[in-house]
Structure 1
Amino acid sequence: MSATTPRVRASELQGRGWLNTGGKSLDLAALRGKIVLLDFWTFACINCLHVLDELRPLEQQYADVLVTVGVHSPKFEHEADPVALAAAVERYEIHHPVLDDPELLTWQAYTARAWPTLVVIDPEGYLVANLSGEGHSAGLESLIPELIAKHEANGTLHRGDGPYVPPAPREGTLRFPGKVLPLQGVPGHEGNFLVSDTGHHRLVELAPDLETVVGSIGSGSKGFADDDAATAQFNEPQGLALLPGELAAQLGYDVVVADSVNHRLRGVSLATGEVRTVAGNGVQRLLEAGPNTVDNDDATALGVLGTDPLSVALSSPWDVVYSAELGQLVIAMAGVHQIFGFDPRSGAVSVLAGTGLEGLLDGPAEQAWFAQSSGLGVDAKGDIWVADSETSAIRVLRVSEGRISQVETAIGEGLFDFGFRDGEAAQARLQHPLGVAPLPDGSVAIADTYNGAVRRYDPASGQVSTLARGLAEPSDVLLDGELLVVVEANQHQLVRLPLPKEALQVDEGSVRTQRPATDVAPGEFSLSVRFSAPTGQKLDDRWGDPTQLKISSTPPELLVAGDGTSTGLNRILTLSTEVPEGVLHITARAAACDGAETEDGEIPDHAACHLYQQDWGIPVKLVTGGEAGLALDLRGMN
């Protein structure tokens, strides 16, 4: 920051209340003398969950000088429920104060535009940096020591404990269970259910009464370890898949577990309790920088990523199911918005569908967009149903000739559209579903998580109905005989529910995510995205301009000119004079590499490179006299 750059005071923290402070309210005055990191997040967002884990080492390393404050700014209606937020703070083991900001007061004060956004405030209360998206830990690792040195020298840094007050621990058999797997056909386990006891970082086998514990696998301590049932470790396990008996006998394990925060697939032998890693190297998969990375974003080539499964990076695998038609396991890779495959015979890990761009787009598998897919189910025809949570959608992967040929949407409209509405599928609405189960009659049961309901979609009639409601974040569902088995995550239990003779018809409306719209002027409109490479990194220009913008709009008529993909982080758009409002969809990318330059100014061949990316959906209202431009921060420094 130059001497002539004006310093900007941080805005006050406003909201409905505070969590993790022992009932006390905080303000910036109480935090003066500390480096403050505001983390604007929402608990449905997988990228926000990634950032929580990225920040944990920094919070531990700089515990006496750094205070992280989570500013929870909800996207979905359910996320504005204070009880649901308190459960999420407990579920994700957040060890810093959290400001509940349901009216987006602090969000607006800091002009946040996307989840997640990080804002750094120095010990004197001035803004230092604004960072959008995930992957900024390396930059923070260089920035924080600089701030410590400066403010320690100035006498403005105060060391000591922060304001975090841990909540009372929860007791009980299960803690935020995620998924359930019936163990039919497994000798010695018939009638039992295996549950991912996500909050206890283990697997629990329950008797048919859904309460009696038959056994558990995993120590219950968060971590990673391959070992026997008593000492193996998981980190927020989610999806479970049972392998065919012959294949299980050949491989030596029966169940495959989506170990979400470990970014691995684990294999479990039910006979011995032994846990082994079968895919994933434990490193979160990110978009990779390198030749043509920035230029080629419209399709990710399908195919094998590697045949050594323990060397391939995964990203928050959330569910897993075995497909006989594909001859492999299918994985909902929530962290990169794609569908992966894993062939346990050959070890091949592959991309089966999705470009990696977040959104709702149907078509051939290599062109489809997904958004945090979190539930999978295979129907009698071999097609694969997907609970695509961030678009509140149900998608279907059409399988033919041993591959996924087409992606279709059964229910859902887009990233910002949700609700609780039954009826014709085109008008029906869900709210962040996490589970899906094809039923014998050809219909599909849906764990409609944020509506607290189990819904049903009938492809034959094209109708959506409600089977049960009043549940606390149901995260999975299956049919057991004539009864539904539902994982009720926020009640920490599994329940059986009868199938109603007549399904309910609910219409509580369709909702669009409500965020403040920006008043913009029709006509020529300038868009710029600011990016400053972290200390110790340099923009990677070896293959041309290492930055890129991809721009579209809803409705498409909003943009008369300037849409599409091109290099550079500045674009002149033309906004329609006929469309009163809409949403600008913006994806920005920039590639930078570690290390000092060589004498000729080139990046060393051995340098590690990173791709920074953020997606924005910005509501706009076209008015005379509105703003004629918009500036966003991918990584901005004040």
Structure 2
Amino acid sequence: MERLRAPELEPARAWLGTTRPLRLRELRGHVVVLDFWTSCCVNCMHVLPVLRDLERRYADEPVVVIGVHSAKFPGEAAPERVADAIARHDVAHPVVVDDGLAIWERYAIRSWPTLVVIRPDGTIAAVAPGEPDPAALDTLVRGLLAEGEAHGTLAREPLTIPRGEPPPPRPLAFPGKVAVAGDGRIAVADSGHHRVLVLSADGDVLVTIGSGHRGHRDGPLAEARLDDPQGLTWAGDGALWICDARNHTVARADLRHDRLDTVAGTGSMGHVPIASPSPARTTALRSPWDLALVGERVLVCLAGSHQLGVLAPAAGGGFTVDMLAGDGREALVDGPPRVACFAQPSGFARAGDQVWIADSETSAIRELDLASGDTRTLVGAGLFDWGAEDGPFAAARLQHPLAVAVAADGDLVVADTFNDRLRRLDRRAGRVSTLSLGTAHESLREPGGLAVLASGDLLVADTGHHRLVRLAADGRFKGELEVRGAPPVPAASDEPPPPLAAAPATRWFDLVLEQAPALAPGRVSGRLRLLAPAGWKFNDGAPQRLALEVSRRSDLVTTADRITLSGQDRSDMSVELDLAVAELPTSEVRSELLVRVDAVLCGGDPEVCAPSQAWLRIPLLLTNAGAAAFSVDLALASPV
């Protein structure tokens, strides 16, 4: 099979994290990993630690990681906003800022995140959307290094890439969320410094939670370790609950006894949505982002699994975690708990039995009734509908909001993050308006957190400006809250990457369709023919299983997530894939279906039976002129 040469990374708006542009031509001899990402995407954030560990593991070998920032939202597309995201997420490799998705199109990318791995000879070795298994990625890179060494195409030493200057020190770095206690104390998630600061009402640092070193460690508050803390909420007993986002945990800080303890999560990222009650401490979560207390229960925005979760005290001590609403699909769907869908819920506000959610990827504000469990949408229309329009709820638009709060008069105030402003939702009139914020020093830059002070003023985490600001209820700027007495941030510790799993849990794709089937709205019938390798047949005594995922535009395409077939003693099997395509918002929409096949094959002499797994990536073109059927053949590899 002819190898496809990787296109150059152009046109580019800018190169960041390096003092000059890089060309793939000069990277011949290196294994190059391209990470197509966008800063709003929580799944993209899950990839960054994997790449960080890969870079450290191969620091002395010819392996280069390059980020390709292909923005979804206009508010994250400018090079200076990408530079903020690089600093916020500790991205150490160079990043090219895609110009209007041009590089994305050259590589035929269909979803965020997607990795493209390039051989030392400059040809594409693998393309895989989604969050990579670290061991699978390491196995691929190690194999390509060995292949390059054997073929004489490997560089003698890694390329030296000139880096830019680090940011200057400051009291706060990308503050995420803020919470105000009844006695006036202020808690701020100093997210970029991996710590939480407890301040007096005047801004003096009273308590520091977290040493400033990235990590996951319980213990005395100043010695504990956090990783990108976000949501905060004060409990009636004076304790502070914390969403430790990149540790995928929820922690409780006991300020009276100087102790931080993990309450939910294992410290490792989960891979499946929450479906039923389970012990909180042994259940892996995905990027908890905000919190709200309801009596003894703790509501959690699980941004990474597109759900709302709930922690409840367990009879024998500790907590259980359960799904409150959302089935784990990334979409905007209203209804009861197991029907409703969310898309990266990132902020909570509550009054009585009503809870409001900043559903960031749908640019929406959702309302959950705790009594009935039903969810409805106040503002927002879907994953690819955003804007800055004021007006009636049905017509108004937001752009990736991260926080919502209940104002003193009962209206909602929203941190409209990528529009760099606050918005007011008048619940009685059903209208959205923009709060006046002034210009220059009084402006906001990607606000991520909100709290309402006893006076009715608003306290805003002005994330992109690394500060807290105070605004009147009508949006008038009243000044910056100066943070005084923050401990210096320690230098980053150079710890070895964690050990890899013994064997990869996933693999790269066996088949990627280059031509996308054109499908029309309505019911679509797909036919997948599975072909056993020569000399093998499917086991007639074992079920053959398929797992399906709509990885792009799951708001428009739905299908069963699992299919099980009875075993058949034959060398090929046909599987019917039933899809439903919704009415299209534009004439053409790109979508994508991922299929994993788990089969049992029998063959050989003497005959043996063994499992075989295959992965299939099917790009889809949704168009009114499309068909109602498609077919794909997938050849399975020999299991032994």
TM-score, structure 2 as length reference: 0.79
Q: Deviations over 1:300-323 (max 9, x none)?
A: 75x41x13x221111100011101
- How far off its partner does 1:571 sit? 5.4
Q: Which residue of 2 aligns with 1:260?
A: 245
Question: Using a 3 Å threshold, how does the CA distance of structure 1 residues 232 and 443 change in structure 2: closer, same or farther?
Answer: same
Residue 370 in 1 paired to residue 355 in 2? Answer: no
Pairing partner for 2:393 from 391, 407, 425: 425
Question: Using a 3 Å threshold, how does the CA distance of structure 1 residues 579 and 285 change in structure 2: closer, same or farther?
Answer: closer
Q: Which residue of 2 aligns with 1:168?
A: 166
- How far off its partner does 1:276 sit? 1.1
- Structure 1 distance, partners of 2:218, 2:252, is 10
Residue 193 in 1 paired to residue 186 in 2? Answer: yes
- How far off its partner does 1:137 sit? 2.4
User: What amino acid maps onto 1:343 in structure 2?
Assistant: A
Q: Which residue of 2 aligns with 1:241?
A: 233
Give 3-state SS (helix, strand or coil) of 1:219's partner: coil
Q: Deviations over 1:378-399 (max 9, x none)?
A: 11x3211100000000011111
Is the Cα–Cα contact under 8 Å of residues 516 and 618 in structure 2 kept in the other structure? no
- How far off its partner does 1:429 sit? 0.3
- How far off its partner does 1:522 sit? 6.7
Question: Using a 3 Å threshold, how does the CA distance of structure 1 residues 555 and 499 change in structure 2: closer, same or farther?
Answer: closer
Q: Deviations over 1:230-266 (max 9, x none)?
A: 2110000000121222xx6xxxxx1110000001111
Q: Which residue of 2 aligns with 1:56?
A: 52
Question: Using a 3 Å threshold, how does the CA distance of structure 1 residues 531 and 344 change in structure 2: closer, same or farther?
Answer: farther
Number of paired residues?
567
Pairing partner for 1:218 from 189, 204, 210: 210
Q: Which residue of 2 aligns with 1:506?
A: none
Paired residues for 1:577-588 under 5 Å: 581-583=587-589, 585-588=591-594
Residue 150 in 1 paired to residue 147 in 2? Answer: yes
Paired residues for 1:286-301 under 5 Å: 286-287=271-272, 301=275
Residue 478 in 1 paired to residue 451 in 2? Answer: yes
Is the Cα–Cα contact under 8 Å of residues 375 and 435 in structure 1 kept in the other structure? yes
- Structure 1 distance, partners of 2:21, 2:153, is 23
- How far off its partner does 1:482 sit? 2.8
Question: Using a 3 Å threshold, how does the CA distance of structure 1 residues 315 and 552 change in structure 2: closer, same or farther?
Answer: closer
Question: Using a 3 Å threshold, how does the CA distance of structure 1 residues 237 and 386 change in structure 2: closer, same or farther?
Answer: same
Paired residues for 1:447-596 under 5 Å: 447-469=415-437, 470-480=443-453, 481-500=455-474, 543-548=543-548, 567=563, 581-583=587-589, 585-590=591-596
Q: Which residue of 2 aligns with 1:71?
A: 68
Residue 343 in 1 paired to residue 343 in 2? Answer: no
Paired residues for 1:72-221 under 5 Å: 72-158=69-155, 159-163=157-161, 165-184=163-182, 190-210=183-203, 212-221=204-213
- Structure 2 distance, partners of 1:485, 1:70, is 34
Paired residues for 1:374-413 under 5 Å: 374-379=346-351, 381-400=352-371, 405-413=373-381
Q: Which residue of 1 aligns with 2:8?
A: 12
Give 3-state SS (helix, strand or coil) of 2:81's partner: helix
Q: Deviations over 1:417-456 (max 9, x none)?
A: 0000111000110000000112243211111100011111
- Structure 2 distance, partners of 1:582, 1:14, is 25
Q: Deviations over 1:479-530 (max 9, x none)?
A: 2113111110010011001122999xxxxxxxxxxxxx98958799997999
- Structure 2 distance, partners of 1:15, 1:230, is 47
Is the Cα–Cα contact under 8 Å of residues 363 and 383 in structure 2 kept in the other structure? yes
Q: Which residue of 2 aligns with 1:334?
A: 303
Give 3-state SS (helix, strand or coil) of 1:89's partner: helix
Pairing partner for 1:39 from 35, 39, 43: 35
Question: Using a 3 Å threshold, how does the CA distance of structure 1 residues 493 and 527 change in structure 2: closer, same or farther?
Answer: farther
Is the Cα–Cα contact under 8 Å of residues 530 and 633 in structure 2 kept in the other structure? no
User: What amino acid maps onto 1:601 in structure 2?
Assistant: C
Residue 230 in 1 paired to residue 228 in 2? Answer: no
Question: Using a 3 Å threshold, how does the CA distance of structure 1 residues 552 and 447 change in structure 2: closer, same or farther?
Answer: closer
Is the Cα–Cα contact under 8 Å of residues 178 and 195 in structure 1 kept in the other structure? yes
Is the Cα–Cα contact under 8 Å of residues 525 and 572 in structure 1 kept in the other structure? yes
User: What amino acid maps onto 2:147 in structure 1?
Assistant: K
- How far off its partner does 1:592 sit? 5.6
Question: Using a 3 Å threshold, how does the CA distance of structure 1 residues 393 and 331 change in structure 2: closer, same or farther?
Answer: same
Higher mean alpha-carbon deviation, 406-415 vs 456-465, is at 456-465
- Structure 2 distance, partners of 1:280, 1:264, is 4
- Structure 2 distance, partners of 1:406, 1:587, is 29
- How far off its partner does 1:58 sit? 1.5
Gaps of 5+ in 2: 438-442, 478-514, 532-537, 564-573
Gaps of 5+ in 1: 185-189, 249-253, 289-299, 504-516, 533-538, 605-609
Question: Using a 3 Å threshold, how does the CA distance of structure 1 residues 547 and 455 change in structure 2: closer, same or farther?
Answer: same
Pairing partner for 2:263 from 268, 278, 298: 278
Q: Percent identity?
A: 35
- Structure 2 distance, partners of 1:130, 1:486, is 41
Pairing partner for 1:269 from 245, 248, 254: 254
- Structure 2 distance, partners of 1:148, 1:519, is 35
- Structure 2 distance, partners of 1:34, 1:227, is 43
Question: Using a 3 Å threshold, how does the CA distance of structure 1 residues 67 and 162 change in structure 2: closer, same or farther?
Answer: farther
Q: Deviations over 1:122-172 (max 9, x none)?
A: 001001101011133232122112111111122211132442625323311
Give 3-state SS (helix, strand or coil) of 2:373's partner: strand
Is the Cα–Cα contact under 8 Å of residues 201 and 220 in structure 1 kept in the other structure? yes
- Structure 2 distance, partners of 1:10, 1:632, is 26
- Structure 1 distance, partners of 2:52, 2:34, is 14
TM-score, structure 1 as length reference: 0.80
User: What amino acid maps onto 1:182 in structure 2?
Assistant: V
User: What amino acid maps onto 1:452 in structure 2?
Assistant: D
Q: Deviations over 1:164-199 (max 9, x none)?
A: 625323311000000011121xxxxx2220101000
Paired residues for 1:342-361 under 5 Å: 342-344=311-313, 346=315, 347-361=319-333
- Structure 1 distance, partners of 2:95, 2:575, is 33
- Structure 2 distance, partners of 1:208, 1:343, is 31
- How far off its partner does 1:207 sit? 2.4
Is the Cα–Cα contact under 8 Å of residues 554 and 583 in structure 1 kept in the other structure? no
- How far off its partner does 1:116 sit? 0.6
Give 3-state SS (helix, strand or coil) of 1:421's partner: coil
